Amino acid sequence: MLNRVPTRRINEIIHGKRRVTADTALRLARYFNMAPQFWLGLQMDYDLDMAEDTIGAQLDKEIIVLVRE
């Protein structure tokens, strides 16, 4: 058990079966002496990657770009 985070929870996070919550981010941050935002940022990056893979192509068809560079 990592700083009162059950091994099963860590395993599920690693395998993408569970999200990093604020509670888990705080616990990991304290254990590794890091900012909790790091752990939540990793979760957000993962969520965005999954959303892009799932709906990115459809959004390209549905949404017209307001300003092009």
pLDDT at 53: 98
Domains of the chain: total = 1
Taking CA 50 as the corner, what is the angle to CA 21 and CA 14, rounded to the nearest 5 degrees? 50
Quote the pLDDT of residue 5: 86
Average the pLDDT over 36-51 and give the result.
98
Residue 54 contacts residue 48 (beta carbons within 8 Å): no
Please check whether residue 69 lies inside any domain of the structure: no
* pLDDT above 70 (res 2): no
Q: Give 25-41 pLDDT, tens digit per residue.
A: 999 999 999 999 999 99
Residue 2 counted as domain residue = no
- Is the residue at 13 inside a domain? yes
Average pLDDT on 50-61 reads 97
55 within a domain of the structure (yes/no): yes
Domain assignment of residue 50, given as a range: 7-62
- CATH number assigned to the domain comprising residue 43: 1.10.260.40
Task: Confirm whether 41 is domain-assigned.
Answer: yes
